Structure 1
Amino acid sequence: MITDRPRAALLAASLLLTGCGGGAVATPAHKPGAATAPAGTDVPGAPTTGAPTPEMTPQAAPRRLPGLGPQTWAEVPTGTRQAVVVTGRGRNSPQSTVVLYERTEAGWEAGDSRPAHNALRGWTDHHRAGDLRSPIGVFTLTDTGGLLRDPGTRLPYDHGRGFTATGTGFEGESLAGSFDFVIAINYNRAPGTSPLDWTRPLGAGRGGGIWLHVDHDGPTQGCVSIAREYMRELLRKLDPDLHPVVVMGDATSLAR
């Protein structure tokens, strides 16, 4: 296990070939993480007690998130009240949009739609290390970090030099600053650990280090990247008590 900061920084940068990051043990600044919300198929917020009335019937349950079909909606954990929805332009496109939804008594309330990048080759249902595609699915969000200091998130935040990004992207753009702020996507990782943690429950061949991070104006290796100020905003809004998730994939796949 790599523990010294210089090696952690080098390793985090080198793992751009298979994901966005990984490697070092969390620094002491990392706070204990929140538990992953259990998966389920119940509609979040559906009535569970009380006799039915003309105003409260099974059909009156809150609508599902826009753009999600029954298969995708069934993957959203019971109790989730905050969802970052990443909708890809096409199966093989590196361009997408991001919207933060919060569930209210009236249903799901949408924030602003923001442009984003995903992996160079688009999306996949079976992500593999180095395939240059982003994984499709619903994943919990429990841990954050970055090269810069915590901007005020309520999620655990790991601050350290292990988040240094170097080199250039697919279009020759500099990657410097890409990991100033990151949100770990719980694909093939252990929730409750630093985004830099190496643990890969599905095995190294299934990739890892899939993050939301600062956009560098080009396609990613597998992550989703958004504008710096939106990353700050998202970090401040995400609330572990609302069991946040990211729902990500191309529009056709999410509609299944």
Structure 2
Amino acid sequence: MNLESSNTADRFVRADWSAYATAYDLLSEHNPEYQILLQGFEDFLATIKTPQLIYDIGGGTGNYTEIAARACPDSEIRFVEPDAGMIRSAQSKLADHRNIEYDTLALEDIDAPGTADLIICVHALYAMPAQEQRLADLRRLLRPGGWLYLIDLGRYMNVTDWRGYLFSSLRKELGLVGALRVFWNGREIATQNKAILKAQKSGVYWTHTEAEIASVTAAAGFEIVKQQTVYRGYSDLLLCRAIP
């Protein structure tokens, strides 16, 4: 398991998240596996006591915060996303919700220990440096017994596999012409997914097995209540509680 890349020559091999943001929601809207993840989060919220304070760490274009804001209108939500393009997309999408504060800090720079009731961290941890330390930061932000809703990309991003899957789904939904139109408009996604794969292979982005992510999460002070492989086997979902 490679938690930190030691290859300084590859330290700038990363996705352009602002470019990703321009087309992210277009394809996500038509991706059945992504919609399953969103529904799973909404189902989870219905099973817990309404959180007073929610953090969405690496919140991207705001899809999980949108669900949380709708399901928990009385909660305070802090949306944390360091990329300018992503946070602009999120602010536009979430403009009607008044219970959200936006922050461009990196996770390790947030100074609010032990206050959150729920932290959402979806497909963000793998792109951060030093995952063991970042998980410790997530634990630091949670009150004892607070929830961590963690989904992380663990396996190599097989661009060809995802392209075939998405095109097949789009063709069933929209027909050939509609599928081609969406693919063309969302072509930046393929470019950035290739960059993610390159960063994974170079060790800049973290890859892990189910056992590896469970081990480092538990070591950071979390009880893993539920774990499963999701997103066509590419990602791991861990539902955790902060150990007092």
* Structure-2-length-normalised TM-score: 0.24
Bigger share in helix: 2
* Structure-1-length-normalised TM-score: 0.24
